[in-house]
A and B are shown apart, each in its own frame.
Chain A
């Protein structure tokens, strides 16, 4: 049996690609990915129309696909995160149908149940053998975990592996098995390593960011959750990394042995594993080269699927075992609803990723954000888009002070008693507006260009077009 096909176009033909189908991609190659652009280009050349692009995330590097919105090769997009010019194009009404946002945990849930039916999955694989046993741990385009691609490989009708490092059979340490793969295509380059993983992820040096990180860790310390068995997730942003650094100091000083860290893994979290702060790292995606190396070499650093990470309909998932998560926000409102989908103008610039999953699953969810960014107060009366509902958000930490969700009275009392600057969220909002002035409302368009699904399947919000 031969699965090797000479190019993507031929593989798509062999898969029986037709108008109106759903084609899926994963995003571990992040802002260095070539595979989506190559595939969409092939689809345009084949003249296929009305496709549903089901990509776990889209970044600035994918801006060439906007031409496929224009010629209606792609008329629907389903994703967890849409950044850069692609988000702007959708906000400007370039996509024929509504875009659909799901969280990273919700996506595999809907793939498994058949609510998303993938006709063809394209797996960008940094290393594969000729039968499609593939991995992200090896090769010049190594990205580490392939966690987001696993549901696609398992449930799609047809699966194409695209690699730039074809090795002889068998690739022993595979993440996706040959049993799920129909065709293997070898290309010159699946991506630009510079954009796939950064060689260095940096802790912020901004004093406001450091103060936010310090407050966040003080909240964790005084929450009562920081003890043996502690579990944690944080992002790769500068303030989140600084929080991990402060947390590591406390855990080492007080000899606290955590159980696991979930991520989005960076070198700083690898340091915490190696220093003995945690027993295990669960990794759905590597953010830097140290994380890739650790995943490859350390048996306590374990690759997991998006379903295992956070699916609301799996029999159980890691997100539900988290004690504390630190998350970001572009806006938060006085009901603690968080927006990570749009900017202050209402233009799509991101998405939930796992934000709403882990906010719901964790015992304590902390939002870290500067009180004001370029004059705009982070706290608003009503967020432009609800990404994560306020009932799952516990604390907002800014450099000027901390606000606790009124539903968590005990927590507020604990933090106040420890001397932390705890305010009503309205009071924090007033502090910001004393500096900035009250922003005038931004007019929204009248056409729905995207809907945001919550992890229970309900439409939690709709995003309107941008009227320039």
Chain B
């Protein structure tokens, strides 16, 4: 299990994109915060896409914030993955 130790982000706030921000926290959990312009229609789908992406990495101790402007799930997954990789850069 790798503990997240630095901030990282990926993405933009353009329409149909999302901005993913990762910050370390004191716990062993990975917490999600989702703000979306289509939260009512796609909030569950966004959370699932983010959780599935996180599962591919053996990480803990991170708050993942997703500011979604109506991105497809594949975009959510790609942005979360990139943000995690950036947060892990240089980590042992």
User: Chain A residues in contact with chain B, CB under 8 A?
Assistant: 344-345, 373-376, 435-437, 439-440, 442-443
In the complex, residue of chain A having the shortest beta-carbon distance to the beta carbon of B71: A375
CB distance from B13 to the nearest CB of A (A): 12
Given contacts A345-B40, A374-B70, 19 further A-B contacts (CB under 8 A): A344-B38, A344-B41, A374-B37, A374-B38, A374-B69, A375-B16, A375-B38, A375-B41, A375-B42, A375-B71, A437-B42, A439-B38, A439-B42, A440-B40, A440-B42, A440-B43, A440-B44, A442-B40, A442-B41
Residues of chain B at interface, number, CB under 8 A: 15
- Neighbouring B residues of A442 by C-beta, 8 Å: 40-41
A435-B72, A436-B72, A437-B73 in contact; A376/B38 too (CB < 8 A)? yes
- A-B contacts, 29 of them at CB < 8 A, read A344-B38, A344-B41, A373-B15, A373-B70, A374-B37, A374-B69, A374-B70, A375-B16, A375-B38, A375-B41, A375-B42, A375-B70, A375-B72, A376-B38, A376-B70, A435-B72, A436-B42, A436-B72, A437-B45, A437-B73, A439-B38, A439-B41, A440-B40, A440-B41, A440-B43, A440-B44, A442-B40, A442-B41, A443-B40
Most buried by B among A344, A374, A375, A439: A375
- Tell me, in angstroms, the Cα distance from A374 to B15 when the chains sit together: 6
Residues of B within 8 A of A443 (CB): 40
* Residues A374 and B40 in contact, CB atoms below 8 Å apart: no
The CA of A358 and the CA of B41, in the complex, are separated in Å by: 32
Distance between A314 CB and nearest chain B CB, rounded to angstroms: 42
Give the A-B pair count, Cβ closer than 8 A.
38
What residues of chain A lie closer than 8 Å to B15, measured between beta carbons?
Answer: 373-374
Q: Contact between A376 and B41 (Cβ–Cβ < 8 Å)?
A: yes
CA distance A21 to B69 in the complex (A): 44
Q: Which residues of A contact B37 (CB under 8 A)?
A: 374
Contacts of B41 in A (CB 8 A): 344, 375-376, 439-440, 442
Closest A-B pairs by Cβ, 6 of them: A374-B70, A439-B41, A375-B70, A442-B40, A374-B15, A375-B38
Closest to A439 in B: B41
Determine the distance from Cα of A374 to Cα of B68 in the docked complex, in whole angstroms.
Answer: 9
Please report the C-alpha to C-alpha distance between residue A384 and residue B90 in the assembled complex, in whole angstroms: 50
Q: How far is the CA of A440 from the CA of B42 in the complex (A)?
A: 7
For residue A435, which residues in chain B have a CB less than 8 angstroms away from its CB? 72
Q: Which B residues touch A436, using CB under 8 A?
A: 42, 72
